Amino acid sequence: MAGSGVELLFGPFLIGVILSAALYGVMAVQMLQYYQAHKKDSRWFRYLVLYLFFTESVNLLIEIGIIYEPLIIRYGTQQALIVSPLVLPGDSISIVMVSTPVQLFTAWRISVITEAIVLPLIISILSIVSFGGGLLVTVFASIRNEFREFQSFSGAVMMWLICSAVCDVLIAVVLAYSLMTRKTGFTPVDSQINRVIRLSLQTGAVTAFVALADLILFLGFPTTTLNFIPDFPLSKLYTISLLSTLNARARRSPEYTEQRLPNALFNESATRKTTVVDKTMGHLVLHHPPPYINVHVEQISSALGPSGGPSLHKNIPPDVPPKDMHYSFGSRAETTHTSSYKTPAMRF
């Protein structure tokens, strides 16, 4: 590390650990919200989130150890400026152990939504190649453990980070396009689809940008550790991107039973054809809504007129079905709602 100051060697480590710890706190809060609000999610969804929590905890401990060793254990020694911390090789493998499951999970959900194999397969291959690159970086960093030797395995770093960034961009684009083509014209469903699209584009862009920033700093400043500023918090961004989409679903309000619609990306109802919105002959028909749909209805007394008959609702927009229509599960519910256009059947 001749020619570079101590501040460019240990400073980026410290900044990276601070950013990673801050994002770990954000991630922990989102995980708590998820477990409190979505207790009926599929069991393996919840196990995946739990796995990510333990992996992220190990990753943070590794990063703390990376900065603790040279600043405390090896403080003031020449070896601290030459040899990399002992636990540094664990950084890359702990990151891909988070990013790869998140990418593969999202690829699977895309295959469910699009009912296609090619694009999810491409995403899965890129994710697995990225995992292989991260594993190679761990191996090379263990063997060539001096800072000046890090550029000798830049090919493995490029394979890891470029494949990961391309995978993130592809996931965001494919997911956004797939969901846009499945809008129904039914406002509550479309608003939830729009929310998932926004989250997908934002989180995909952030993770891809941070991965590329890690690579650019690694190649552009070979005598420093500046690349570890975006590298340390990278895994937390993957976990937060998944949790933010999971938590984007409606939650139950303590005051009333809230309208709960199937999430376009993560509800189990997306794996089977149970929800179909079909606008034909001017009628809106919901076929067999899944248990996630809980349409809020007003009290029966408010829905009846003075004589016990149904009251007429006034000022109802032409494209909004009546709010006090109750849809019983396992049965077909129809309204006389008239639509000015037709939309093909749609599946989550």
Scored b (16 or more CB within 10 A) or e, 261-274 reads bbbbbbbbbbeeeb
Give percent above pLDDT 90 in the chain: 46
How does pLDDT run across 186-198, given as a tens digit for each residue?
677 677 777 777 7
User: Distance of alpha carbon 185 from its chain centroid, rounded?
Assistant: 26
Residue 103 CA to residue 100 CA, distance in Å, equals 5
pLDDT for the residue numbered 199: 75
Q: Mean pLDDT over residues 323-345, rounded? A: 45
How does pLDDT run across 96-120, given as a tens digit for each residue?
999 999 999 999 988 888 888 999 9
Secondary structure letter of residue 276 according to DSSP:
E
* Same domain, yes or no: 225 and 292: no
Q: Mean pLDDT over residues 255-264, rounded? A: 44
Q: Which two tokens stand for residue 210?
A: 């941070």
Amino acid at 136: L
Dihedral sign computed on CA atoms, order 11, 14, 20, 21 = negative
* Same domain, yes or no: 284 and 229: no
95: CATH: 1.20.1070
* Same domain, yes or no: 179 and 277: no
Structural domain containing residue 290:
272-348
How many structural domains comprise the chain? 2
Report if residue 107 sits inside a domain: yes
* Same domain, yes or no: 140 and 239: yes
pLDDT for the residue numbered 347: 43
By the 10 Å C-beta count (0-12 exposed, 13-18 middle, 19+ buried), 168 is classed as: buried
pLDDT for the residue numbered 256: 37
How does pLDDT run across 36-57, given as a tens digit for each residue?
988 888 899 999 999 999 999 9
The model's pTM: 0.71
Residue 227 CA to residue 237 CA, distance in Å, equals 16
